[in-house]
């Protein structure tokens, strides 16, 4: 992404603010794992969306003043000893080049700056990025910043910036689509590598190694999210990530994987027989999912309630399963379809966007995910692709990743 992307995002956010309001965003902190070992740092995605900066302990402040706004970024100061151990810290010129911001200071100055801004401008409202999904704390720093504000400025009103950012992130810009397209190409390389090397007796961690190796050839050193790669009975754990199972002759190998490129993340699922040839039952169920996917990519267009997409997937797939003799009543569909079929992707693989009450619109990107789990037959898998809504219809961004029975068996010969 170019700096203009982040500058525009900050401008749009500021448009949602009232005069005299201040917004504070934090990149997050490094979490201790054990002893003197830390978890790898992962910057808050909203902070990255607004700045392009992924360094820990960084702070962005936006102040709305009439029709204009001021912005200031705080980053870690140089520290030769710390950098010797943990690597170079971003310098002000580099931070300015990435973010498009001119006013860069060191993070030990933020408290004095905040106090002066509040005093000078009589600020009474501060935005914080408060994300308490499923009552779990997000370690982006907004919680302790909120406590700092409540303690030091008890009269201050705190607003949540998350609803604004969820609305902003719903529609992808052209540069985001371009990043996703490259991520899809790399995702394809990883999935095809697993298919080509697949054989009975192969362990799930060996499939993962093939996937990770293929990504590394493009400079992608970690997947977009924890890869789900399973075989046989492990396919019935939806978010499986143990990688200890072994594919037995006749087993289906399931993958649910993604690549992050320029911060945008894909989410693609494919399923193939480890021996390269679908059984009659495997083919029967897979083609139910495939026809459902093709149907959805043939009808999705602007103007459809997003909440209806999952229902449409279930209803059409039920028709396929009924014709296949798998189930007779729609009341039984929950026995074979265990999860939703449409979530948005973007800066997060389950993107934090305002989609619940939205209508499909050009620039939206979400998954068309058809999962079929037939425990009695021992067959569980999903076929998941990434759908871009266009002006007149939609486009399957992951269509080039082998997805028909013929394509998959052809690669595995």
At 67, which CATH number? 3.40.350.10
Report the C-alpha gap between 193 and 209 in whole angstroms: 10
Task: Please list the alpha-helical segments (H only) found in 236-327.
Answer: 280-299, 306-323
Q: What is the pLDDT of residues 20-49, one digit of tens each?
A: 999 999 999 998 999 999 999 999 999 999
Are 69 and 150 in a shared domain? Answer: yes
For every residue of 219-250, DSSP letters joined together read: T--S-SS--EEEEGGGGGSTT------BPPTT
Per-residue pLDDT band at 139 (split at 50, 70, 90): low
In this prediction, residue 40 carries a pLDDT of: 93
Are 163 and 248 in a shared domain? Answer: no
Report the C-alpha gap between 207 and 255 in whole angstroms: 9
Last residue of one domain, picked from the residues 152, 168, 184: 168
Q: What is the pLDDT of residues 270-317, one digit of tens each?
A: 999 999 999 999 999 999 999 999 999 999 999 999 999 999 999 999
Are 126 and 66 in a shared domain? Answer: yes
In this prediction, residue 132 carries a pLDDT of: 76
Does residue 135 carry a pLDDT above 80?
A: no
Mean pLDDT of all residues in 86-91: 96
Task: Please count the structural domains in the chain.
Answer: 2
Last residue of one domain, picked from the residues 168, 199, 223: 168
Are 179 and 164 in a shared domain? Answer: no
Residue 218 tokens, joined = 């493009």
Q: How far is CA 45 from the centre of its chain?
A: 9
Are 48 and 95 in a shared domain? Answer: yes
Does residue 138 carry a pLDDT above 70?
A: no
Are 162 and 216 in a shared domain? Answer: no
Are 126 and 241 in a shared domain? Answer: no
CATH of the domain at 373: 3.90.230.10
Report the C-alpha gap between 212 and 301 in whole angstroms: 34
Per-residue pLDDT band at 131 (split at 50, 70, 90): confident
- Enumerate residues 6+ apart whose C-beta is below 8 A from 191: 211, 255, 257, 268, 270, 401, 402
Are 100 and 202 in a shared domain? Answer: no
Report the C-alpha gap between 227 and 255 in whole angstroms: 8
The pLDDT mean for the chain works out to 96
Are 204 and 257 in a shared domain? Answer: yes
Are 185 and 318 in a shared domain? Answer: yes
Are 109 and 255 in a shared domain? Answer: no
Report the C-alpha gap between 6 and 318 in whole angstroms: 43
Report the C-alpha gap between 209 and 81 in whole angstroms: 35
Q: What is the pTM of this model?
A: 0.96
Are 376 and 287 in a shared domain? Answer: yes
Contact predicate 76/57, CB 8 Å: yes
Q: What is the pLDDT of residues 55-84, one digit of tens each?
A: 999 999 999 999 999 999 999 999 999 999
Last residue of one domain, picked from the residues 131, 147, 168: 168
Tell me the residue range of the domain where 142 lies. 3-168
């Amino acid at each position: 992404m170019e700096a203009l992307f982040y500058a525009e995002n900050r401008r749009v956010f500021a448009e949602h603010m009232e005069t005299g309001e201040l917004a504070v965003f934090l990149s997050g902190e490094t979490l201790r794992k054990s002893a003197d070992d830390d978890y790898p740092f992962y910057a808050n995605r909203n902070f990255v969306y607004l700045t392009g900066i992924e360094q820990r302990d960084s702070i962005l402040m936006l102040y709305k003043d009439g029709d204009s706004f001021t912005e200031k970024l705080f980053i870690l100061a140089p520290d030769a000893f710390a950098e010797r151990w943990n690597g170079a810290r971003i310098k002000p010129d580099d931070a300015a080049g990435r973010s498009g911001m001119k006013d860069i200071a060191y993070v030990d100055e933020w408290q004095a700056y905040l106090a002066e801004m509040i005093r000078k401008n009589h600020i009474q409202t501060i935005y914080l990025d408060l994300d308490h999904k499923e009552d779990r704390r997000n370690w982006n720093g907004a919680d302790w910043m909120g406590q700092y504000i409540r303690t030091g400025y008890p009269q201050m009103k705190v607003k949540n910036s998350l609803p604004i950012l969820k609305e902003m992130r719903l529609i992808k810009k052209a540069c985001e689509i371009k990043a996703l397209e490259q991520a899809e190409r790399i995702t394809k390389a990883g999935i095809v590598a697993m298919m080509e090397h697949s054989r009975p007796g192969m362990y799930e961690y060996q499939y993962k190694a093939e996937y990770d190796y293929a990504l590394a050839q493009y400079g992608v050193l970690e997947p977009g999210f924890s890869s789900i790669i399973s075989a046989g009975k492990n396919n019935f754990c939806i978010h499986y990530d143990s990688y200890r199972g072994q594919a037995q002759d006749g087993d289906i190998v399931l993958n649910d994987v993604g690549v992050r490129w320029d911060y945008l993340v894909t989410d693609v699922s494919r399923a193939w027989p480890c021996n390269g040839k679908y059984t009659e039952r495997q083919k029967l169920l897979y083609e139910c999912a495939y026809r459902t996917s093709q149907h959805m990519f043939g009808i999705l267009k602007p103007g459809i309630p997003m909440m209806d997409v999952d229902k449409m997937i279930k209803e059409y797939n039920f028709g396929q399963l009924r014709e296949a003799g798998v189930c007779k009543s729609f009341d039984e569909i929950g026995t074979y379809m265990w999860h939703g079929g449409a979530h948005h992707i973007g800066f997060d693989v389950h993107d934090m966007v305002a989609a619940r009450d939205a209508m499909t619109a050009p620039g939206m990107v979400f998954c068309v995910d058809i999962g079929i789990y037939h425990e009695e037959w021992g067959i569980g898998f999903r076929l998941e692709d990434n759908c871009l809504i266009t002006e007149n219809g939609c486009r399957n961004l992951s269509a080039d990743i082998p997805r028909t029975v013929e394509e998959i068996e052809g690669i595995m010969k």
